[in-house]
Structure 1
Amino acid sequence: MRTADPTADWEVSRPPRVALPGVDMAGFRIRGPVGVRAIPHPAVTVAVEFGDRAFDIHRGTSSERAESLAAGLGFDAFRVRAEGIACVQVRLSPLVAPPVLGLPLSELRRDVVALDDLWGREVLRLRERLNSARTWRERFALVGAELTARFQAGQGVDPEVAWAWQQVVASRGRVRVRELADRAGWSRQRLWSRFGAQLGLTPKRAAMLVRFDDAVHRLVRGHGPAQVAADSGYADQSHLHHDVRAFTGTTPSAAAGEPWLAVDDTAWPTRG
């Protein structure tokens, strides 16, 4: 029996369009205390809070407080608490994220950091402009302009790395690293090295992440674990269970009810 939607009281807004390819945005306004487990996915996450609140970020035995954050590709799951939220959340393709953030993703890795550490005082100015904006459309335009300016001023990834990532996504994580290297005209070692240096994950870990993301969203939609394991290319249900535990820290049944995932069809309808 399905439980009630844990995000039923969340206000979620979507931009009419996003001009920069590889970028998706959503606006969230949640009144009252909120606590969620942030689940990794095949994108870099940026969240800019503009309602004079802060995120309490809990990872293992450590915790920190930040008004805005950036989490690396396939970040390690963490808990976020806040006394209400008004924020624009951005999902960046790892092909777009390095110039936008201003550093190779290997430096961010699977960590979560305060966005101020990357953008400095520009974050405060952006938050003030977002707070002054009267509509979500204006807020999305402000964030989009900031991202576009940073992307145009930065340096992207190697074409071979971009192509390899696209193949991983298109295959839903089922492509073999050796096949990628052969088709790219690189040695396996060179692909492994350049991919990891620029995207922050090895090709194998990236494939695991993409396959997990496909599987966990099938679980959220109510599909049984055995069927999900078969449909997502796992050898058996125990391998699915292992990956869900590795990426979320919980079981498939518990992950299926996580608000972070339950809101996806509303917040990120273009999610592949």
Structure 2
Amino acid sequence: MYRERAAVGIPAAVRWVSVSSVAGPVRVLPDGCLDLLWSSRAGLLVAGPDRVAQVSWSAPGERWIGLRLPPGVGPAVFGVPAEEVRDRRVPLADLWGRAAVEPAERIRAAIDPGGARCAADWSDAGATILEEVARARLRAGGGPDPLGAHVAARLAAGATVAATAAEVGLGARALHRRSRALFGYGPKTLARILRMRRALELARRGVPLAEVAARSGYADQAHLTRDVRELTGVPPTRLLTSPPD
């Protein structure tokens, strides 16, 4: 089971819940985001921005609640540059110390480990707590750096890195430095990941792959296939037979 919906009070953030019905691999595609997670097995975690797909093993009945923060927002919530958690899954306590204890206890109480709550109740309660924690951190820190949302939006729309740098008034080196702190990697890597996400979204709507490649800025379908395989470990045809991550 997997479902998601828009978060409250954090623009472009998504709250999601997942329950594993069987044991098996789970492939999480890179998206430029950082996630605040709760796992019934591991507790509160921070999922850093990935450069390539991460494959983990789910256990039957394992429950996950997540808050996916859009590119550039995570550092303001977690208090560290995104590159410090790149390609990592880090216990929240490693970043916040004792400040992570209170939200962990609230979630443990809200999910009702005794099983009295129905699935919708425990997941909604847990996701609401994650949202509240993230909103409080954003208020305390003065909000996310607006550069992050602007750069990510321009790159997601297909703008070149050079054009984006000129638009925000930064040189190439300065934009790369700011991008590593905001997204975990440079703007070229973020642009590549966002282009792949855009292409897969079109393909899932039924657009033929050759047309997807042309509309997404790839040289041809072979370029699209090669890029998707390098970022995810499998070709796009394989991804299209599975539900989106």
Aligned amino acid, residue 217 of structure 2:
G
| Aligned length, in residue pairs | 234
Which residue in the other structure is 2:125 paired with?
A: 138
Structure 1, unaligned runs of 5 or more: 1-9, 55-65, 265-272
Instruction: Determine the C-alpha separation between the residues in 1 that align with 2:183 and 2:2.
Output: 32
Matched, 1:103 2:80: yes
Instruction: Determine the C-alpha separation between the residues in 2 that align with 1:127 and 1:32.
Output: 24
Which residue in the other structure is 1:241 paired with?
A: 225
| Stretch moving more, 154-163 or 247-256 | 154-163
* Residues 180-206 of structure 1, C-alpha deviations (whole Å, 9 max, x = no match): 122222222222222223321111111
Within a 5 Å distance, the mapping from 1:141-152 to structure 2 comes to 141-152=128-139
Aligned amino acid, residue 188 of structure 2:
K
> Which of 217, 227, 233 is matched with 2:201 structurally?
217
* RMSD (Å), alpha carbons: 2.5
Q: Percent identity?
A: 30
Within a 5 Å distance, the mapping from 1:170-181 to structure 2 comes to 171=157, 174-181=158-165
Cα contact 2:44–2:91 (8 A) shared by 1: yes
Normalised to the residue count of structure 2, the TM-score between the two structures is: 0.83
- Judged with a 3 Å threshold, the aligned counterparts in structure 2 of structure 1 residues 82 and 67 are, in CA distance, closer, same or farther, namely farther
Matched, 1:72 2:54: no
Which residue in the other structure is 1:114 paired with?
A: 91
Matched, 1:198 2:182: yes
Structure 2, unaligned runs of 5 or more: none
Instruction: Determine the C-alpha separation between the residues in 2 that align with 1:36 and 1:137.
Output: 23
- Judged with a 3 Å threshold, the aligned counterparts in structure 2 of structure 1 residues 142 and 178 are, in CA distance, closer, same or farther, namely same
Secondary structure class of the residue paired with 1:20? coil
Within a 5 Å distance, the mapping from 1:1-272 to structure 2 comes to 10=1, 12=3, 14=5, 18-50=8-40, 54=41, 66-83=42-59, 84-120=61-97, 121-122=100-101, 124-132=104-112, 134=117, 135=121, 136-154=123-141, 156=143, 158-169=145-156, 171=157, 174-259=158-243, 261=244
Instruction: Determine the C-alpha separation between the residues in 1 that align with 2:51 and 2:142.
Output: 22
Instruction: Determine the C-alpha separation between the residues in 2 that align with 1:215 and 1:151.
Output: 31
Aligned amino acid, residue 93 of structure 1:
P
